[in-house]
Each structure stands twice: as structure tokens, then as C-alpha cells.
């Protein structure tokens, strides 16, 4: 499939929600491979691991009116112990990174949906270049760690800023930034 570059006049909005169909899950994995294997060369070939067996994938869908066009962002969440949740593999398609709201909305739904499912602590290992985004979204740095040969920030979400979302299959809407 040949994908056209992002056109802010074509996409009406983005829906961020739990992946509920096979094509959403498959495109989320394809996007992760594009970002973490091809672009960043963190993994060779595929980034899947044992966490994928029980993680909940979340996707950002570009919407053409009421129809989903493609997966343009993803993250996964999982409960590591009762009430202790982690987010990982946050990725946004390179053509859609300037939209601005996608990463933040993926993070909001990840934490808010886990909060609704009994989360009392939510962590993520965040690449250094993304630390400022997470800080703006009310996350605190716990420590600096090396993962896959790269420095990451272990960060903790302030759950007071993430009200529980009990409808993650419907999710949240992110609007594209107006063209200048």
C-alpha cells in the first residue's frame, strides 16, 4: 500500500482508542517496526516481546469524516502487578509528528484507561528526547536507566491529572493543528 503524506486539509480529526480490530493491531505493529527497527535501529527486524502477549494496544487513527483511514500512532499498556501499570512502545508516524496532539493524546488515554482499571502507579521508560513532553503532561523522573543501549528516563505519571476513562474502546479525539 502506498501511503500519501499527511495533508492537514484531508484529515478531519484523529481518534485515539484501544485497538479493537485485527487491522488496527497489525498496523500498530507495522508502525512500531517502522519507528523502532527501521528509523531508530533499536531492534533488528521486529520489536515484539513477551509483553505483547498480554499488553493492550492503543492506536491513533486518522479519520476521513467518520471513517478510519490508517494507524498513525500507537502505544501499549500492561499491568505488571496488581495496580502497577506500564506504558511502552509509544510511536507516531513520521508524517504525523507535527500534528502535535497525537503523542500527548496517546499518553492521556494510556494512563486514564489504566486508572479506570485500578491503576495506582503508572510508569514508562521514556527516550531522553521525549522527556520534556512527558514532564508537560505531569510526569516525574524517577531515575535514568540504559535500555537497549540508549539512555531512558524512568518516569511516573501523576494520576491526579488523569481522570479515569471508562470508554477506552471509543477513546479520545485529537484535532490536527491548523495550517499556518
CATH number at residue 142: 3.40.630.30
Chain position carrying cell 495506582: 120
DSSP classification of residue 159:
G
Q: How far apart are CA 29 and CA 118, in angstroms?
A: 26
User: Would 92 be classed as within a structural domain?
Assistant: yes
In a domain, 1, yes or no: no
Give a yes or no: residue 158 inside a domain: yes
* Domain annotation covers residue 8: no
DSSP lists the bridge partners of residue 18 as 58
pLDDT digits (tens, 9 = 90+) for 70-100: 999 999 999 999 999 999 999 999 999 887 7
Q: Which domain holds residue 65?
A: 13-174
- What pairing do the DSSP bridges indicate for beta strands 121-127 and 139-147? unpaired
Nearest to 11 by CA among 178, 158, 133: 178
Separation of alpha carbons 51 and 80, rounded Å: 9
| pLDDT, tens digit, 9 for 90 and up, residues 8-62 | 445 668 999 999 999 999 999 999 999 999 999 999 999 999 999 999 999 999 9
Strand partners, 76: 57, 88
Judged by DSSP in three states, 162 sits in coil
Q: Does the pLDDT value for residue 131 go beyond 60?
A: yes
Report if residue 35 sits inside a domain. yes
pTM: 0.90
Catalogue the long-range contacts made by 24-28 (C-beta closer than 8 Å, 24 or more residues apart).
Answer: 24/57, 24/59, 24/61, 24/68, 24/71, 25/57, 27/59, 27/70, 27/71, 28/57, 28/59, 28/71, 28/74, 28/76
Amino acid at each position: 500500500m502506498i501511503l500519501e503524506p499527511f495533508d492537514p486539509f484531508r484529515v478531519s480529526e484523529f481518534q485515539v482508542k484501544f485497538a479493537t480490530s485485527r487491522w488496527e493491531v497489525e498496523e500498530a505493529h507495522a508502525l512500531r517496526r517502522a519507528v523502532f527497527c527501521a528509523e531508530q535501529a533499536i531492534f533488528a527486524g521486529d520489536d515484539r516481546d513477551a509483553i505483547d502477549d498480554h499488553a493492550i494496544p492503543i492506536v491513533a487513527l486518522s479519520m476521513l469524516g467518520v471513517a478510519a483511514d490508517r494507524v498513525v500512532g500507537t502505544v501499549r499498556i500492561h499491568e505488571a502487578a496488581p495496580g502497577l501499570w506500564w506504558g511502552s512502545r509509544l510511536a507516531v508516524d513520521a508524517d504525523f509528528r507535527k500534528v502535535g496532539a497525537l503523542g500527548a493524546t496517546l499518553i492521556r488515554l494510556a494512563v486514564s484507561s489504566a486508572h479506570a482499571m485500578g491503576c495506582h502507579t503508572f510508569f514508562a521508560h521514556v527516550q531522553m528526547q521525549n522527556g520534556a513532553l512527558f514532564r508537560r503532561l505531569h510526569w516525574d523522573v524517577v531515575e535514568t536507566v540504559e535500555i537497549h543501549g540508549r539512555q531512558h528516563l524512568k518516569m511516573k505519571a501523576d494520576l491526579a491529572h488523569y481522570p479515569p476513562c471508562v470508554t477506552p474502546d471509543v477513546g479520545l479525539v485529537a484535532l490536527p493543528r491548523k495550517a499556518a
